[in-house]
């Protein structure tokens, strides 16, 4: 059965490049990103892991733990990490899970038989501090992911978790947001004393709340 937004992210134990972890314990109280790779020494994955390592300070700033997953053995990860550093100019600085038997990939429905019955597609899961799936994105194996977009979505998820707002099309942190329809004008006056711009009764634009 596919994992849906709002589901509890499946727990698992696995060996990683930073030691053995139990997933729920490792991410406890944090936001997390879990993303899959078909196997080690694949070209697109090499670029993705290198770029994500460069973005690690941005994930840290948002309190997000990042984990990669490769359907390969732990002993193969060290050599691949060296290749990533050599070709991408940065060290692997987050755990890379060794899922050599595909157990975790199957729990997260990362293997799509119509695409390939053994290799994972490029799955991305964003998981909240409540251990529920907040976002899932799937790319074909031939297409590298956009991790700047993953950060943008995390900014939106964290903001909308704190305030009763939604983010409009192409929104970036610092831009105006939308007051959700569930908030009445009366309640909005208390929440947003600086006021808002009403385009339609259901479309009320307000500066991004702080905090």
Q: What is the pTM of this model?
A: 0.92
pLDDT tens digits, residue range 169-208? 999 999 999 999 999 999 999 999 999 999 999 999 999 9
CA atoms within 13 A on the CB side of 122: 15
pLDDT over threshold 70, residue 152 = yes
pLDDT over threshold 70, residue 5 = yes
Q: Catalytic one among 9, 27, 33, 45?
A: 45
Separation of alpha carbons 190 and 204, rounded Å: 15
User: Is 45 designated active site?
Assistant: yes
189 contacts 179 by C-beta, under 8 angstroms: no
- Residue-range domains of the chain with CATH: 13-145 (3.40.30.10), 163-206 (3.30.1020.10)
Residue 86 CB: number of other CB atoms within 10 A?
Answer: 10
Separation of alpha carbons 191 and 175, rounded Å: 18
């Amino acid at each position: 059965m596919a994992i849906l937004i709002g589901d509890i992210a499946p727990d698992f134990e696995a060996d990683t490049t930073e030691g053995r972890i139990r997933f729920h314990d490792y991410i406890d109280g944090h936001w997390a990103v879990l993303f899959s790779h078909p196997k080690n020494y694949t070209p697109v994955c090499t670029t993705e892991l290198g770029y994500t390592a460069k973005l690690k300070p941005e994930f840290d700033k948002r309190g997000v733990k990042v984990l990669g997953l490769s359907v390969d053995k732990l002993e193969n990860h060290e050599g691949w990490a060296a290749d990533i550093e050599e070709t991408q100019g940065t060290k692997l600085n987050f755990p890379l899970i060794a899922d050599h038997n595909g157990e975790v990939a199957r729990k997260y429905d990362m293997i799509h038989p119509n695409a390939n019955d053994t290799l994972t597609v490029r799955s991305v899961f964003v998981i909240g501090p409540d251990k529920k799936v907040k976002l899932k994105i799937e790319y074909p194996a031939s297409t590298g992911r956009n991790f700047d977009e993953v950060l943008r979505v995390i900014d939106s998820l964290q903001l909308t978790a704190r305030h009763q707002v939604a983010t409009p099309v192409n929104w970036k942190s610092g831009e105006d947001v939308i007051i959700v329809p569930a908030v009445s004008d009366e309640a909005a006056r208390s929440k947003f004393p600086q006021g808002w711009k009403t385009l339609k009764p259901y479309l009320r634009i307000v500066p991004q709340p702080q905090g």
